[in-house]
Amino acid sequence: MKFDAPEGATPLDPNEAEGLLLTHITTRAELDRWEQENIAEAEAWAFRRAHPDLLTDGFVRRLHKRMFGNVWRWAGLYRKTGKNIGISAWDIATELRKLCDDCKTWIEHASYPPDEIAAHFHHRLTAIHPFANGNGRHARLMTDMILVYLLKQPRFTWGSGNIVSAGDCRKHYINALRAADKFDYEPLLAFVRS
């Protein structure tokens, strides 16, 4: 089974595609619908109460499992393959723990304004790209949880458009992340509150 991915999305390798739990799905539209339903359930869970272990690799994996566990067998498990983006698979756990520790320090010492802390966290989490798929959606929800629970700020608006499907909003998002790759966070900071 092969699903076309929008620009900048992580393609699945054949073994990962076989991890689909819902064998009746045959189109990208059906997959998107089932994933979105699962994500909506996870989002309700995420904002029902504070999570004291939010900045841990265990929580990062648990949130991904909540978001995609009804659709993918490998939900919540770190990827084992190389991708078009992200670090080497064997470095994921170490780099994720570093990111969580760095974010705790940024918050504790107010190293940046709250939106910058959240934008830096989001950019690094997407750059690590810990999962076979769903990394952007997962990173956005994680970032929103950090904003709400740890930084006491409103959630980002993420361009106020659909950044899952191909389109201008997604292009702006991808371009903002690419600028952050070059240490220019201004486009990302502008995008997340637009």
Residue 18 lies in a domain: yes
Q: 192 with 115: CB under 8 angstroms?
A: yes
Per-residue pLDDT of 84-93, as tens digits, reads 889 999 999 9
Residue 6 lies in a domain: no
Q: What would the mean pLDDT of 15-28 be, rounded to a whole number? A: 83
Q: Could you tell me the CATH number of the domain that includes residue 81?
A: 1.10.3290.10
Per-residue pLDDT of 66-120, as tens digits, reads 999 999 999 999 999 888 889 999 999 999 999 999 999 999 999 999 999 999 9
Q: 81 with 14: CB under 8 angstroms?
A: no
Residue 99 lies in a domain: yes
- HSE at residue 162, side-chain half, CA atoms within 13 A, is 7
Q: 141 with 67: CB under 8 angstroms?
A: yes
Cα-based distances in Å from 26 to 7, 60, 72, 168 = 20, 29, 14, 26
Please spell the DSSP secondary structure of 24-43, one letter per residue.
Answer: T--SHHHHHHHHHHHHHHHH
Confidence of residue 4 (pLDDT cuts 50, 70, 90): low
| CA-angle at 160, arms to 5 and 131, nearest 5° | 40
Q: 58 with 95: CB under 8 angstroms?
A: no
**Which of 62-66, 98-102, 167-171, 189-193 is least confident?**
167-171
Query: Tell me, what's the pLDDT at 17?
Result: 77
Q: 93 with 82: CB under 8 angstroms?
A: no
Domain residues for the domain of 176 are 14-192
CA–CA distance, 145 with 143 (Å, rounded to integer): 5
Residue 9 lies in a domain: no
Whether the per-residue pLDDT at 42 is higher than 80: the answer is yes
CA–CA distance, 170 with 13 (Å, rounded to integer): 23
Q: 79 with 131: CB under 8 angstroms?
A: yes
Residue 42 lies in a domain: yes
Query: Tell me, what's the pLDDT at 111?
Result: 97
Cα-based distances in Å from 43 to 36, 80, 103, 114, 134 = 10, 26, 21, 21, 14
CA 189 to chain centre: 16
Domain count, the chain: 1
Whether the per-residue pLDDT at 15 is higher than 60: the answer is yes
Residue 118 lies in a domain: yes
Query: Tell me, what's the pLDDT at 3?
Result: 52
Residue 133 lies in a domain: yes
Residue 2 lies in a domain: no
Whether the per-residue pLDDT at 7 is higher than 80: the answer is no
